Amino acid sequence: MELGMLPTYFLSHGGGPWPWMKTEFGGAYDVLDASLRDIERQIGGKPKAVLVVTAHWEGGDFTLSSGAQPDMIYDYGGFPPHTYAIRYGAPGSPELAARAQALLQEAGIAAGLDAQRGFDHGTFSAMYPVFPEADVPIVQLSLKRGLDPLAHLAAGRALRPLRDEGVLIVGSGLSYHNLRAFNGAGAAASHQFDGWLRQAMALAPKERAIALMNWDRAPAARAAHPREEHLLPLMVALGAAEDDPATVVYHEDAFMGALAVSSFRFGN
């Protein structure tokens, strides 16, 4: 089934291997889980493939995972033993990796391929609720070291044609990411920054892009993101759908008891 031009997403992917720890977390992830499970309905079916811009991978240049059967990367610590044996068996797509690399290079953006890169938890913890049968090919795109917002916006612009080719572009990060205050201590900062972020998303496209390029001037910006790797996937998702309206598809005011967090869709 042809889905037409697909929207893009910026998803707050939660903490660690949460989809495999629902008992331990109680209902803490119920709202996030429901929002992720609704994505297939929103886009009208399964895409041909997913390009995940992951906050958990940085390269000197943008780099794409190009293996046919990616392994797993358990890039977290302190979780139960069974979470280090998780298998999310979605295939990779060497073809999509090469196509995305070509689009970036045509735009003058250096891009490499890594056939050994496995799925990190920014990918498998976000994609498992969306496609639990692991039957949609996934390619990961790294961030570019230096974390320049404009460079990531430009990468998104270059990748925009994928939306017409059945590829769902997903930026996977967190709208609040200060692990030292991932509790009540971060409540005020998370609410200030999340409120600004949702207001910025409602701006006209040009003003929205300008606001996000200057995100570090927002209220509580550095308290919410001491280092911005979990915010930068948003810039790629926005760049690929720069003229499209933004919709809040997930929001909580008391995530993990106190934090404000959100996810966004760009396009219908």
For the chain, counts of helices (H) and of strands (E): 10, 8
> Residue 1 has what pLDDT?
52
Residue that the structure tokens 């993101």 belong to: 225
Q: Are 248 and 264 in contact (CB under 8 A)?
A: yes
Task: Give the pairing type, strands 259-266 and 8-12.
Answer: antiparallel
> Residue 268 has what pLDDT?
87
The rounded distance, in Å, linking the Cα atoms of 64 and 87 is 21
Element (H, E) at 93: none
* pLDDT tens sequence for the chain (268 residues): 567 899 999 999 998 999 999 989 988 999 999 999 999 999 999 999 999 999 999 999 999 999 999 999 999 999 999 999 999 999 999 999 999 999 999 999 999 999 999 999 999 999 999 999 999 999 999 999 999 999 999 999 999 999 999 999 999 999 999 977 777 788 999 999 999 999 999 999 999 999 999 999 999 999 999 999 999 999 999 999 999 999 999 999 999 889 999 999 999 8
Q: What angle do CA 80, 259, 191 make, to 5 degrees?
A: 160
> Residue 236 has what pLDDT?
98
Domains delineated in the chain: 8-266 (3.40.830.10)
> Residue 179 has what pLDDT?
78
pTM: 0.97
> Residue 2 has what pLDDT?
66
List all residues 6 or more positions away from 7 whose beta carbon is below 8 Å from its beta carbon.
42, 43, 163, 168, 241, 244, 265, 266, 267, 268
Task: Give the pairing type, strands 138-144 and 111-114.
Answer: unpaired
Q: Are 243 and 205 in contact (CB under 8 A)?
A: yes
DSSP 30-91: HHHHHHHHTHHHHHTS--SEEEEEEEEEEESSEEEE--SS--B-----S--GGGGS------
- Tokens representing 177? 């990411």
- Tokens representing 83? 């979470």
pLDDT digits (tens, 9 = 90+) for 199-252: 999 999 999 999 999 999 999 999 999 999 999 999 999 999 999 999 999 999
